[in-house]
Amino acid sequence: MDLERFRTWARSDSFLERGRIDWVAGRLEVDMSPEDLNTHGSPKSAIAIQLGLHLQEPGKGLVVIDRARFSSPSADPSVEPDVLVLLFETVETGRARLIPKASGAEGRFVEIEGTVDLAVECVSDASTVKDRKRLREAYYRAGVPE
C-alpha cells in the first residue's frame, strides 16, 4: 500500500468507522483503543471550544475534531489529528485544498490536502510514541506550523 491507495480507501464506504487509522511515514497505523474521557475527550473538546471562539466564530477558519483527515502527498502522512485548524487564508494561498465528497455535493468535503495550520494530539497511554515522535515528525514534514 502507498499513500494514494490509502487515501482512496479512506474516502471509500469500506473504510472502518471506528478507531484511529492513519498513514504515517510509509506505514499504516491503527489504534482501536477506547478514548479516555478525562485525559483525551475532555481536553480535546476544551481546546476545540477555545480555538473555535477565536478563529471559527470570527470567520477566520475551521476548527475540527475527530474524523477530519488531512493528507500531504509531499510529506506522506494521511492523518486525523485530535483537533485541527485550517485558516481560510491557507486555502486561499494554495497551501491546502479541500477534497470534495465523492457525491460532489456543493460545500461538502472529506479531506484537506496539503497542510493545516495547527494539529493537536492529546497524548494517550496507547499512543505515546506515535503522538510524541512519529506524528510530530510527520506534521513537521507536512509544513504544519503549530
pLDDT of 103 over the 80 cut? no
Residue 146 in any domain: the answer is no
Nearest-angstrom CA–CA distance, 85 and 65:
9
Residue 71 in any domain: the answer is yes
Residue 72 in any domain: the answer is yes
Report the CATH number that the domain containing residue 110 is assigned in CATH: 3.90.1570.10
Residue 78 in any domain: the answer is yes
Tell me what pLDDT residue 32 has.
83
Residue 30 in any domain: the answer is yes
Segment 33-37 shows an average pLDDT of 80
Q: Which domain holds residue 73?
A: 3-141
Q: How confident is the model at residue 118 (pLDDT cuts 50, 70, 90)?
A: very high
Residue 111 in any domain: the answer is yes
Half-sphere exposure of 112 (CA within 13 A, CB side): 29
Tell me what pLDDT residue 48 has.
95
What's the domain count of the chain?
A: 1
Tell me what pLDDT residue 97 has.
95
Tell me what pLDDT residue 81 has.
95
Is the distance from CB of 82 to CB of 122 less than 8 angstroms?
yes
pTM of the predicted model, to two decimals?
A: 0.86
Tell me what pLDDT residue 145 has.
95
Tell me what pLDDT residue 136 has.
93
Residue 125 in any domain: the answer is yes
Sheet holding 109-114, edge to edge: 27-31, 20-24, 78-79, 69-71, 109-114, 96-100
Tell me what pLDDT residue 11 has.
87
Residue 122 in any domain: the answer is yes
